[in-house]
Amino acid sequence: MEKTKLTKVIKIITIITSIVTVLYLGFSFLIPVYLSYRLNIEASKVDSIGIIGGADEPTTIFLTSTSSFANSIIIICALFSIAGIAYLVLNRKVMK
């Protein structure tokens, strides 16, 4: 009974960290590449992109430099995802 609870917790943590990792990679790589292509700006080395604008004012795009804190968090999330997936795969093989 306790092993199934542990497996459920590990599944939940693995799913959450995998989603965070995929979203971060999408926002940090795909969106800057698209903006570089679409707006003819160098956005491939930025960490954060902010777009401010509305109906009554011109649109402004803010780019910030990379942050080592955000990179370390994504590395931790990626490692948790890999470890969780490895545990779940190995646990499934042992159960069979």
From residue 81, give the alpha-carbon distance in Å to each of 29, 40, 50, 55, 86: 19, 35, 28, 42, 8
pTM: 0.59
Per residue in 1-36, pLDDT (tens digit) is: 577 888 888 889 899 989 988 888 877 777 777 777
- What is the per-residue pLDDT for 52? 76
30, amino acid identity: L
Roughly what angle, to the nearest 10 degrees, separates helices 2-25 and 68-95? 140
Nearby residues of 96 by Cβ (< 8 Å), 6 or more positions away: none
Domain ranges (residues) in the chain: 2-95
